[in-house]
Structure 1
Amino acid sequence: MTDVSVDFLRAVFLGVLQGLTEFLPISSSAHLAIVPQILRWEDPGAAYTAVIQIGTELAVLLYFWRDIWAIGSGWVRGLFSAAAREAHEWHLGWFVIVGSMPIVLLGIALKDVIEQDFRSLWIIGTTLVVLGVVLGIADRVGRASRTIDDLTWRDAVLLGLAQAAALVPGVSRSGATISMARFLGYERAAATRYAFLLAIPAVVGAGLFELQEIPGGSNAYGVMPTIVGTVVAFGVGLAVIHWLLKYVSTHSFLPFVLYRIGLGGLTLGLLASGYLVA
């Protein structure tokens, strides 16, 4: 098998992995860092990771297009109409904008640190465990009585700060946002839905920002395998969104908590044994 064929197969595998893990609160970036090492593959690189996430975010855009249209059009109408500024969509548009600012600003300011120091598997293994425990506590103590209609400016800021914690691989964007939302008393379905909407500007922006680096050395697979992996991630991600929203309406996040703790513990154990290299 040629090197090009191997690159394509690995890119497809990682596309499936990205699609499966992006929307679950288990950290797609952690999986894209850990799994290649376990399989003795080259690290796909931060640029590959960011761009392949565009595939899963396109799945969000397609799945939530009605919500996105309602929020976007309502926000634009509010710019010109005082009556429109009384609508929920106007406020929700501002909540998403304000909530996106922390991760965007910190992502730009800490770009080099994120792509180098934060990719240590010691950090990733630790954050998998710690945020798993946080998610478990939040899901257990959350009142689960509030919906997206109950969002406030305070909540928008707090949820935005929580999402920014996902700049550290292993935290999980959805996991951090959902944990904060559960602490604030939001229903599981509402917390999950808002986590998806809040992630769109940040992840699409990060992917577009990293596009310039794809032809260079920060991506192990090159342009075409990355495109294929992104398409695969889109298809798998679309199916996962549909499943997860149905799942959280009747189930807790406990399986994801246990999985995070198990994967984090395994990672730290393999590091300590020397099988994995930080």
Structure 2
Amino acid sequence: METFQVIILALIQGLTEFLPISSSGHLILPSQLLGWKDQGFSFDVAVNTGSLLAIVIYFRTELWNMFTAWSKSIATQQTTPDSKLAWWIILATIPAVIFGYFGKDYIKANFRTIEVIATTTIVFGLLLWWADSLSNRKLTEYQAGWKKALFIGVAQALALIPGTSRSGVTMTAGLMMGLSREAATKFSFYMSIPTGLGAAILVTKDLLQSTQSIDMNALFFGTVVSFVSAYICIHYFLKVISKVGMIPFVIYRLLLGAVLCGVIFLS
């Protein structure tokens, strides 16, 4: 890829990964609409790794508290709010791991199309609007419980389908379970860490076993740009989400879906 394309795609990843509008869908669109060569799954995961580093650093204090509490809960069998939250995040990760392991190749071969992205963008945008309109949204992330965490985890597994949005579908599920906007957002952010790390490990293994040439400069540069843009996005998204709600993102998804449907109709 040209440097310009690497920058644009990395910015797209960083700015959309934690917004409920689907980073994977947006990463596919340039190849579908502009005729760019598909950057491939390896580049997608590389820039996703940049976003992963951003969220780990941004929430480093909260993550460290959860990790130490979780470790102590194993050694002493005593639980705290932080240790429970850590266990719930682990539980919520399992469905995506199972679905990703068995469905990754099929999804890569069949679902990276503009038709799929248009459909999921609209459908899950409407679900986000419905969930955000519910009145009972008062629970914090520490009040989720294992049943709600598992439900959110099952929803996360659907995000392997481009256009669904991992952040969007997990926030939607969290809102449906009664979590506040801030709690649903933070729970979604925390869940992105183990799933993103797992995807990065699997793709790294595939890259090491591959005989094809790989543009390591593009992967490295894309990761850096994605990290910076994702860190900025996390900071400002957390500041405005309680005030603006999900409606702006719902409107964006519906408009984007309508544009994509128009492109499909005219093509």
Same fold (TM > 0.5): yes
**Alignment of 1:47 onto 2:27:** no
In structure 2, what is the equivalent of residue 36 of structure 1? 31
Note the C-alpha offset of 1:80.
1.1
Q: Which amino acid aligns with 1:170?
A: G
Gapped regions of structure 2 (runs ≥ 5): none
2:3 alignment counterpart: 8
Partner deviation per Cα, 1:82-121 (whole Å, 9 max, x = no partner): 3xx2311221111011100000111011121121112122
1:146–1:185 Cα contact (<8 Å) kept? yes
The TM-score, its normalising length taken from structure 1, stands at: 0.91
Q: Does the aligned pair in 2 maintain the 1:34–1:267 contact within 8 Å?
A: no
Q: 1:236 aligns with which of 218, 229, 240?
A: 229
What is the alpha-carbon distance in structure 2 between the residues aligned to residue 13 and residue 190 of structure 1? 31
Alignment RMSD: 1.6
Matched, 1:67 2:62: yes
User: What does residue 186 of structure 1 align with?
Assistant: 179
In 1: Cα distance, 2:205 partner to 2:114 partner? 26
- 1:170 and 2:158 are equivalent in the alignment: no
1:151 correspondence with 2:144:
yes
Percent identical: 34
What is residue 75 of structure 2 aligned with on the other side?
A: 80
Deviations 1:56-90 (A, max 9, x none): 010000000111101111000011113xx231122
TM-score scaled by length of structure 2:
0.95
How many residues align? The count is 266
Q: What is the distance in 1 between the residues matched to 2:211 and 2:261?
A: 28
Q: CA deviation at 1:226?
A: 1.4
- Single out whichever of 139-148 and 209-218 deviates more from structure 2: 209-218
Is the Cα contact below 8 Å between 1:45 and 1:218 reproduced in 2? no
Correspondence for 1:3: none
Deviation of 1:51 after TM superposition, in Å, equals: 2.0
- 2:14–2:47 contact (8 Å) kept in structure 1: no
Gaps of 5+ in 1: 1-5
- How far the C-alpha of 1:261 sits from its partner, in A, is 1.0
Q: Check if 1:134 corresponds to 2:127.
A: yes
